[in-house]
Amino acid sequence: MTSTTLSLSPIIDLTSDAIVLVSSSSPTPSPAKRMVQSPPAAKRRHAKLVKASPPKKVGSKRPNVLLAKKWDEQQDVTGWWVSEKLDGVRGYWNGAHFVSRLGNIFHAPAFFTAHLPTDHHLDGELFMGRNLFEQTVGIVKRHDGGDLWKKLTFMVFDVPSLKQTTFEARQAFLRTCVADCPYAKAVEQRVCRSNAALWESLNDVEALGAEGLMLRQPRSAYVGGRSNTLLKVKSFSDDEAIVVGYEDGKGKYEGLVGSLKVRNRGGVRFSVGSGLTDSHRRKPPTVGSMITYRFQELTAAGVPRFPTFVGVAIDKAWDESK
């Protein structure tokens, strides 16, 4: 049985020194117990649009996960922990199931969860590889993914059930916790030696197709909600929007969807065409679904410049503060 192998060492090597997790005065955690709607036809695309809201979903209890704020480049983060920002699907292991940030259950097969702890919660990313977000979503959304899950790795970055211990103590426990899990791996953490080194590393990972970097404050606790102890570092911005309609394609895209008409949280309407594959144009996200898009900046009117479609957002809350 094999699992995805990830190598980050040349990518986020911000220090030439070996990384050793510092000791903590916190109690040593005990060992974990282990478990052995179709789019409208082209002729209807110009119909009057109705105000859409994200569909309601049901599932397990919604986890109170830690969320990142955007890094202010004026802030000195020397000594913080750095890891690659993985472009996958956020997965929260509650000891019995994988659930999304909204509490929706991901139907992982037994072989994927067999060695995960039953008495601790793990927070991480269901990850297939860089630039494979859509394929990852396609697998985790299925109720019958089966062997397709062998393409995924649960990249774990924290242990929420040990939230009052330090980050370093949780990382030490985490590495022991997933040591025998063929489909789980602890996200590699490195020490940031300077802001300049952080920028160099960001350029390196983005050149390789990565989404960016994550910063974690040393000795910080795990506290649910958006926090100053977890920061994201990216050269672009992203957000979510609701699909409210479609624009017909022209030229080689005649008969297909040319772009998505969307509305963001601020009520601003605009179109997103860049990033759509031929498959998306043949079968676009349904009206009322939520998408993630990237953009460079906002105009004075609040319209995103050069928006690019990333994928359907399956684990984001519409009322969630960015």
Number of Cβ atoms within 10 Å of the Cβ of 130? 16
Token pair in block for residue 37: 């709607």
Residues contacting residue 300 through CB under 8 Å, at least 6 positions apart: none
**Residues in CB range of 124: below 8 A, 6 or more apart:** 90, 91, 92, 93, 154, 155, 156, 157, 158, 184, 187
In DSSP notation, 245-314 reads EEEE--GGGTTSEEEEEEEETTS-EEEE-TT--HHHHHSPPPTT-EEEEEES-B-TTSPBSS-EEEEE-S
Closest CA to 221 of 172, 163, 275, 179: 163
Q: Which of these is catalytic: 57, 61, 85, 150?
A: 85
Does 33 qualify as catalytic in the annotation?
no
- The DSSP output letter for 230 is E
Residues identified as active-site:
85
